[in-house]
Amino acid sequence: MPTPQPPSQPPSFQPPPPGLLIPQLPPLPPLSPALTSNADFEKDTINPAAMYLSNTRKSLALLETWGFDLERFFASIPSTTFECETDWRHAIAAFVIDELYRTSTLTRPSALHSLSSDCFFHFEGIYLEDLKRSAAYRRWLGATGDLHSDENRIRFYFEGCNEILDLLQVSNKPLGPHGAVKYLCETYLNTDGGADLAKTQRLVAHKSQRLTGHVADPGAVAWQFVNTFYNNVYRAMIDKKSGKGNLDAITETLKAVRNGGSGVGLPSIVNGFETLLLLLFLDGAAVREVWNQAENGAGHGITREATL
């Protein structure tokens, strides 16, 4: 997959061409009282969503070409491997944003809490940019007026970013039995709750690849992020008994993900799984405290705007 290039201007959400309306994703399957296995997660949730996005993309191309009889030509447009991977990635990002939004508005319990641990590797295939653009797409769907001006495209993007930051400062997110926590502990941590350097080498390699051509030593930047994030994120999570996370660990975790974990104008190296850990389990009150310290010239200078 091509390495993303840094933006030459403020990033923006790219909506579909004027006059073409894309409906929202179809409803997700109902929750099961049992944990959802990875096979069922792929078959019943992500694959249908990816197919929906693929069909939508093909429909737009057909509509622009013929203007009618979409069903007749629907299967006539093949997808490249890159397009299929993109549809899959966008489907996962849309699932995450949709579930986080539902949780924050209390419309129903999040399906994220029903996933077994073997589902969570999927979220490592998307990055912060994917989630921000999916949040921007949600904003675009509910907007009115000139939806295609440069000004509004940039506005949708930053509103999507703010929506993610709003989720980060939500309180009362206790650490309990959860597939994400099990995946984190078994896949990347040692028995003390810190980073297992042997297990995290794969993450370092992937993040280093994203930064190749953008920084002088991508391996060092990637290792610094992984080492800091995974040595602190478990202690930063809210403990179910105390109802609090370790403030020092929260601060270090936020330092790791600041400006996408890499720097301003560089591809983010914070993946979707790491973002989920922050949004699902960090103490929102403590996050606000770190932000307030920065606004008052104290702490480590981790402002709301620079977070993520």
- Contact 273/266 with Cβ under 8 angstroms? no
Question: How many structural domains are present in the chain?
Answer: 1
- Contact 23/101 with Cβ under 8 angstroms? no
The rounded radius of gyration (Å) of the Cα atoms in the chain is: 20
Residue with tokens 């990002």: 93
Residue 292 lies in a domain: yes
- Contact 234/193 with Cβ under 8 angstroms? yes
Cα separation, 36 vs 16, whole angstroms = 33
Q: Does position 148 have pLDDT exceeding 80, yes or no?
A: no
Which pLDDT belongs to residue 245?
79
Section 96-101 average pLDDT:
84
Residue 255 lies in a domain: yes
Residue 151 lies in a domain: no
Residue with tokens 């409906």: 23
- Contact 273/182 with Cβ under 8 angstroms? no
Residue with tokens 């699902």: 280
Dihedral angle of Cα 297, 298, 300, 301, to the nearest 10 degrees: -20
Q: How far is CA 17 from CA 21, 57, 63, 166, in A?
A: 9, 11, 11, 30
Q: Determine what percent of the chain is predicted with pLDDT higher than 90.
A: 31
Which pLDDT belongs to residue 51?
80
Pick the range with the lowest mean pLDDT from 18-22, 205-209, 229-233: 18-22
Q: How far is CA 265 from CA 106, 135, 208, 215, 306, in A?
A: 35, 19, 16, 11, 12
Q: Does position 150 have pLDDT exceeding 50, yes or no?
A: yes
Domain that residue 305 falls in:
169-308
Q: What is the pLDDT of residues 30-72, one digit of tens each?
A: 444 456 788 888 877 788 788 878 877 777 776 666 555 556 6
Section 7-18 average pLDDT:
44
Contacting residues for 242 by C-beta, under 8 A, at least 6 apart: none
Residue 277 lies in a domain: yes
Which pLDDT belongs to residue 104?
64
Q: What is the pLDDT of residues 167-186, one digit of tens each?
A: 888 765 555 558 899 999 99
Cα separation, 35 vs 86, whole angstroms = 27
Strand partners, 36: 115
Cα separation, 273 vs 251, whole angstroms = 19
Residue 272 lies in a domain: yes
Contacting residues for 279 by C-beta, under 8 A, at least 6 apart: 100, 164, 167, 168, 170
Residue 175 lies in a domain: yes
Q: Does position 13 have pLDDT exceeding 50, yes or no?
A: no
Q: What are phi and psi of 144, to 5 degrees?
A: -130, 175
Burial bucket for residue 85 (CB in 10 Å: 0-12, 13-18, 19+): middle
Which pLDDT belongs to residue 6?
37
Cα separation, 33 vs 35, whole angstroms = 7
Residue 68 lies in a domain: no
**Joined tokens for residue 104:** 């924050």
Cα separation, 91 vs 56, whole angstroms = 12
Pick the range with the lowest mean pLDDT from 50-54, 121-125, 168-172, 199-203: 168-172
Cα separation, 206 vs 121, whole angstroms = 13
Q: Does position 121 have pLDDT exceeding 80, yes or no?
A: yes
